[in-house]
Amino acid sequence: MKILGIETSCDETAVAVVEDGTSILSNVIASQVEIHSRYGGIVPEIASRQHLLASIPILEKALQDANIQLEDIDAIAVTNGPGLAGSLVVGVNLAKSLALASDLPLISVNHLEGHIYANWLDERNTPEFPLLCLIVSGGHTDLVLMTDHGKYEQLGRTRDDAAGEAFDKVARLLGLGYPGGPVIEKATIGIENPRRLPRAWLKGTDDFSFSGLKTATLHMARDLEIIADEPSPAIHKIAAEVAAGFQESVVDVLVTKTCEAAQKCNVRQILLAGGVAANTQLRETMTKRTPVPISIPSPILCTDNAAMIASCGYFRFVAGETSRWDLDVNANLQLV
């Protein structure tokens, strides 16, 4: 069964074709990073316009790469939230138009659930329930217990900034650029002495908090006089040490709390999901410290893509779920 997936929740226009929920036939992504980097963050209006420009060419490329026609598709899956409302509208309307014109079933997919299903696209690994999912992205940091397909229990979430959001803000204040995750990871390569920064453990809960860490990083940057109009090479090195300390703190909290929750819930496996799951230090540290087997998607499947939406759509479709033609976007859609 072939599912066409469409993802436009933020600043990537993506279309993919996935067979039986696990085999990627095509996965095409048009990124807007270069456009938004000049502003230091995503501009929603620009993102929406770029989706309009890219959606049809990306759709045609995805079908071409999969060597199929639209008539060979069995159903269409699309992200309808959470995300930027204007961006979501482009993808949902494209999916509804295609489904109506081709008389195909339409399946709505929660973007966060899609990230989880990126783990089903690794043919070397079949996740086993019950699972603990750590979803870490620019807008979300969630610990979710998954007992079966479509069955979730929220264990913890961020009380303020998401991990990816904190990366973006810290990268900006240290003058490292955008997007925060990749530029911080690049800047910290070879740093042997990261600056020590605090951890917010929120003991007794499975929740996260990164706002205090972000503030502590700002105070350290000011104390070290990193913030300057024309930073010298010496300042760049100190900024990299601070960035390394920030990254180390985020990873330590994410890994420790996830491993503790995995033992408490007696799960069979841990799944990583979301853009921050592409971070090398997080991947390596979690692999070393996990008390149970762990599944981590390839980096390209951690960031926003349509293959994960198609995979999730497949499992929803075989469970008998389809959407009405009046499907609308929900920018604040919750997983649980």
**Please, what is the end-to-end C-alpha distance for the chain in angstroms?**
28
**pLDDT band (50, 70, 90) for residue 272:** very high
**pLDDT tens digits along 139-151:** 999 999 999 999 9
Q: Is the pLDDT of residue 232 over 70?
A: no
**pLDDT band (50, 70, 90) for residue 40:** confident
Range 218-230 average pLDDT = 81
Host H or E run for residue 231: none
Q: Is the pLDDT of residue 180 over 70?
A: yes
Range 43-69 average pLDDT = 97
Q: Is the pLDDT of residue 39 over 90?
A: no
pLDDT of residue 225: 85
> How far is residue 94's CA from residue 234's CA, in Å, rounded to a whole number?
50
pLDDT of residue 229: 54
Residue at token pair 């399946």 = 107
Q: Is the pLDDT of residue 252 over 80?
A: yes
**Of 36-40, 226-230, 246-250, which one has max mean pLDDT?**
246-250
- Cβ-proximal residues to 6 (8 Å cutoff; 6+ apart), any chain: 14, 15, 59, 76, 77, 78, 79, 91, 94, 95, 306, 309
Range 330-336 average pLDDT = 94
Range 160-180 average pLDDT = 94
pLDDT of residue 124: 74
pLDDT of residue 226: 83
**pLDDT tens digits along 183-198:** 999 999 999 999 999 9
The percent of residues above 70 in pLDDT, for the chain, comes to: 97
Range 17-24 average pLDDT = 97
Identity of residue 312: C
Q: Hey, what's the torsion of the CAs at 106, 112, 115, 116, to 10 degrees?
A: -100
Identity of residue 324: R
Phi and psi of 317, rounded to 5°? -65, -45
Q: Is the pLDDT of residue 215 over 70?
A: yes
Which residue from 181, 177, 251 is spatially nearest to 213, judged by alpha carbons?
251
pLDDT of residue 231: 54
Residue of 255 and 177 predicted with greater confidence: 255
**pLDDT tens digits along 68-107:** 999 999 999 999 999 999 999 999 999 999 999 999 999 9
> How far is residue 11's CA from residue 316's CA, in Å, rounded to a whole number?
25
> How far is residue 278's CA from residue 316's CA, in Å, rounded to a whole number?
26
Write down how long the chain is.
336
Which residue from 124, 146, 126, 122 is spatially nearest to 18, judged by alpha carbons?
122
Cα Rg of the chain, angstroms: 20
DSSP secondary structure string, 79-115? EEESS-HHHHHHHHHHHHHHHHHHT--EEEEEHHHHH
Query: Is beta strand 2-7 parallel, antiparallel or unpaired with respect to 12-19?
Result: antiparallel
What's the predicted TM-score (pTM) here? 0.95
**pLDDT band (50, 70, 90) for residue 156:** very high
Strand partners, 76: 4, 106
Ordered structural domains, the chain, with CATH:
2-119+300-318 (3.30.420.40), 129-296 (3.30.420.40)
